[in-house]
Structure 1
Amino acid sequence: MEAAEIVVIGAGIAGLAAGRKLAEAGCRVILVEARERVGGRLLTVRPPGSALPVELGAEFVHGRPPELLALLEEAGLSIFEREGELLCHDGTQFTDGGMDESFEVLDALPEEGDRSFDAFLQEAKLPEAIAERTQQYVEGFNAADAGRIGTASLRRQQEAEEEIEGDRGFRVREGYDRLAEFVAERFEAAGGELRLSSPVEEIIWQQGEVHVRLRGGEELWAAKVVLTLPLGVLQAGAVRIVPEVKTEAISAMAMGAAARLTLVFSERFWEPEMSFLITEEKPLRVWWSASPDDAPCLTGWVGGPRTLEAPADDMALVLAALESLGRVFGRDDLEGLLVSAHRHDWLADAWSRGAYSYAPAGALGASAVMAEPVEDTLYFAGEHTDTTGHWGTVHGALRSGLRAAAQVLGSCAQGDSPSASASVGRD
């Protein structure tokens, strides 16, 4: 059995951030990751035919979150702001889509109480077209079920986005994976030990002592553990925690579903100014380009319950997407223009089990509950534990990792030294 002061579970951006901060503070940290790579739900590919990397996981820098921008600058990575027009297609022609009316609905969410967004729409008695369009937007943007996501969390999210200019969007030109790789390098440079392809099966703990059993039977011992497992993994019980903790809060949150597909073409057949396209087509109702970058790529998206419209088979999804785009743009040659197609099924991914989290009605405080340490021994991080209203974002995950590391270090400063405890296990 190998001992460390702290074991961090999960090398997504939350785990990497926590591990780096702890290692740079002088702690002996082992960071274990089930996948053979770092980054978690950051997944970047670089296909021929596109100078711009294709993101299969998190893609955008939402607004100007200071922690994330500072980290990107430290890593020497560049971002460019997304620009262009939002277009809508009603099945026969392009329209302005009336999305401004939907955004006005969201701005008018009640300040008190908490109900499902569907219940709010029914009470608001909006025109059917506006209600349907707004419901689709909420489900798509949040990868959520409008019958579950709460108005209180949506209101908090709106306020949080206003704090960081959330109406602006950016992309990492070199690829989001480079950020994860940079943090991993800094973690190891500070003396941290990174173990890839090391799935955790069981965590057995008592105050001040944790045994982490890996697949294959190897065990790690630590005084403290930081768990950054995605919400979907926690809810599935894929990692056994003995005794169980935070079960009510974990169950209260929801893991959203989404399907996305990026198509790389030999040329652009859409107007260069097009940024986002909202259609009535199935299965992928929202598309976006790389505008203002001229990469010949379109990414299709559907979130929430409508994710079930997307075929599980990759080729079937590609063909359906090409047919729907052909109808929208009046083209019958798109299959011939296609260079490559790229998809990752996060719902079927055993190490994520979903896209990202959201707070159903009544669950606004669940993230704060998960963010509280358990007997100065277990600490939770990940976008689902963000308490600032930025669920489902890279900066929300980053903030949570930094918060968990600060909690660990604060506990040590108060005299609960992991070094003293861990030295017993090394003998």
Structure 2
Amino acid sequence: MQVQHEFDADLLILGAGMSGLAAARALGERGMRVLVLEARDRIGGRVWSQRALSGDVVELGAEFIHGRAPELWSLIEESGVTTAERDGVMLRETSDGLNAAEDHGEDIFAPLENLEGYEGEDLSFADWLNTSDVPEDSRAAVTAYVEGFNAADATKISIKSLGIQQKAEDETEGYRSWHVHGGYVQLADYLATRLVAQHGRIETNCVVESIAWQQGSVEVTTSKGTFRAPRCGITLPLGVLQQVNREGGIRIEPQPAAIAQSHRMEMGQAARVTLVFRSRWWEKGSAAPPEELQQMGFLLTRDRLPSVWWTARTEAEPAPTLTGWSGGPRSLIFSGRTTDELAAEACSTLAKIFQMDEFLVRSELLSAHTHDWTADPFSRGAYSYVAAGGIDAPRAMTEPEQNTLFFAGEHTDVTGHWGTVHAAIRSGLRAAEQILDTQSPRL
């Protein structure tokens, strides 16, 4: 590639998800001319909020604020968006109906809590479990939790990463969760507004086809033309990075070391469907005492898919919605289903769980909402996790390539918070600092 002497910006950023926007805003406010290239017709990446016809906000991607991570809460306070802490009872489906799950929760999580500080061989969780003293009757439940929460395959996910994750959650009150009034995407909108105020630009519907680079010069060919800059921040999801220089993927020449490292991680699989109803009909069911049904926050099903349900419930805002979630290999059973098919199956399942008439449940349904992130070519999965033996891969991906290519995204987090919005934001801010450290005097 010939060295280019005329650049479209001081920096190109690929991807207008939370990591890309966080980096772009930080650099724009330091005087850099930033151009963000986004393949979708919207910003936010895997943060995607929609408003249903009923007026309820539905999250198709990230939904929860997990714990008190400072980078995310600083943005929340700065932007002025409001949040509400989630509350409610966790119910578990058993052979005799629904029962409060609190009595069993500590037993389920005990094996994971014991992983803090684990220094043995970095096995997969399944291999570790087979050699552990975890009781046989607890193994299915803890495996279901690991796969569901991490969108992971238990035969692949790193046991060391789970130990690091557990410690990270303890340090940030990860057992607490909040939701954003009006939708998570407001945070993406705020970052974009701040970037534009600093004369930054965002090009949507701009699909990257190839990247040619050498030290001090990057040329990105897209569906909207070719863009050039002396540096480039690559904030594409792990699933997209893993497809680089493969059929249907982006071409990058020469291939950076981060691409090889990406294959030491895994892109998790998950399926979810959110159902918006006329009323909170489940509170009238007979599967549990009325007060528990009224206070239900989460529901763990028994040998059903989706395996977990939750309400959009806070004490002040008990919305009439239910979201079903399955993570890991079992979620693939939903692949290729239409929204109507998922909704019909979900209503049938919910009627059985709450011991109510299926026709009544269907008649209460106003709308259903889902998105197949695995089939989405701009994500190729839900969120990342570390594969057995790959515990140092995220840190390796944070290393710049000749001070020209820089990588960010939740998969590059080094603090144990993979798969979260706050990890994405933190990685974007880290990449911004790396880029600032390489500024030329004219900037």
TM-score range, shorter chain: over 0.9
- The structural deviation recorded for 1:194 is 1.1
Structure 1 residue 310: deviation in Å?
A: 2.1
Paired residue secondary structure (2:397): helix
Deviation, structure 1 residue 120: 1.5
The counterpart of 1:306, out of the listed 317, 330, 334, is 330
Does residue 403 (structure 1) correspond to residue 430 (structure 2)? The answer is yes
Instruction: Give the structure 2 partner of residue 74 of structure 1.
Output: 78
Separation in 1, partners of 2:442, 2:135:
59
Given the superposition, is the C-alpha separation of residues 356 and 418 from structure 1 closer, same or farther in structure 2, using an over 3 Å criterion?
farther
**Are 2:19 and 2:409, in contact at CA under 8 Å, matched by a contact in 1?**
yes
Task: Figure out how many residues of one structure are paired with residues of the other and give that number.
Answer: 414
Identity of aligned residues (%): 46
TM-superposed CA distance for 1:2, in Å, is 5.3
Contact kept in structure 2, 1:283 and 1:320, CA below 8 Å: no
Map 1:237-386 to 2 at 5 A: 237=244, 238-245=249-256, 246-268=258-280, 269-270=282-283, 271-292=293-314, 293-310=317-334, 312-313=336-337, 314-332=339-357, 333-386=360-413
CA distance in 2, matches of 1:417, 1:265: 58
Does the aligned pair in 2 maintain the 1:283–1:310 contact within 8 Å?
no
Distance 2:222 2:334 in 1: 35
Return 351-360 or 277-286, whichever deviates more. Answer: 277-286
8 Å CA contact 1:200, 1:239 repeated in 2: yes
Q: Tell me, what secondary structure is at the counterpart of 2:231?
A: strand
**Superposition deviation, residue 290 in structure 1:** 1.4
- Find the partner of 2:131 among 120, 123, 126: 123
CA distance in 2, matches of 1:78, 1:302: 28
Residue 262 of structure 1: how far off its partner (Å): 0.3
Q: Structure 2: which amino acid aligns with 1:367?
A: P
| Preserved contact between residue 272 and residue 291 of structure 1 (Cα < 8 Å) | no
Q: Distance in 2 between matches of 1:344 and 1:288?
A: 17
1:10-49 → structure 2 map (5 Å cutoff): 10-49=15-54
- 1:346 is aligned with what amino acid? W
Which of residues 182, 205, 209 in structure 1 aligns to 2:213? 205
Contact 1:255 1:356 (8 Å CA) reproduced: yes
Could you tell me which of 228, 245, 250 is aligned with 2:235? 228
Name the TM-score, length of structure 1 as normaliser. 0.94
What amino acid does structure 2 have at the position aligned with 1:327?
A: K
Are the structure 2 counterparts of residues 225 and 417 from structure 1 closer, same or farther at C-alpha, using a change threshold of 3 Å? farther
Say whether residues 1:154 and 2:181 are aligned partners.
Answer: no
Q: Distance in 2 between matches of 1:330 and 1:31?
A: 51
**Which one of the candidate residues 192, 198, 205 is aligned to 1:190?**
198
Relative to 1, partners in 2 of residues 1:311 and 1:374: Cα closer, same or farther, differing over 3 Å? closer
Q: Give 1:90 deviation, angstroms.
A: 2.2
Mean CA deviation greater in 312-321 or 115-124: 312-321
Kindly tell me: are residues 190 and 212 of structure 1, through their superposed partners in 2, closer, same or farther at Cα, counting changes over 3 Å? same
| Contact preservation (8 Å) 1:50, 1:264 | no
Deviation of 1:5 (Å):
1.1
2:8 and 2:367 map into 1 onto residues whose CA distance is 46
C-alpha distance in 2 between matches for 1:200 and 1:305: 29
2:175 alignment counterpart: 167
Which residue of structure 2 lines up, in the alignment, with residue 135 of structure 1? 143
For residue 424 of structure 1, what is the aligned residue in structure 2? none
Structure 1: stretches of 5+ with no match in the other structure: 420-427
- Post-superposition Cα deviations, 1:328-372, rounded to whole Å, max 9, x if no partner, equal 101111101101100011111111110000001111110100011
Compute the RMSD of aligned alpha carbons: 1.4
Shift of 1:281: 4.3
SS of the residue corresponding to residue 364 of structure 1 reads coil
| Structure 2 residue identity aligned to 1:258 | A
- Equivalent position to 1:95, from 92, 99, 106: 99
C-alpha deviations, 1:244-266, integer Å up to 9, x for none? Answer: 11232111010000000000111
SS at match of 1:276: strand
Alpha-carbon offset, residue 146 of structure 1: 0.5
Name the CA distance, whole Å, in 2 between partners of 1:239 and 1:315.
33
Q: Which amino acid aligns with 1:236?
A: Q
Verify the 8 A CA contact 2:403 2:435 in the aligned structure 1: yes
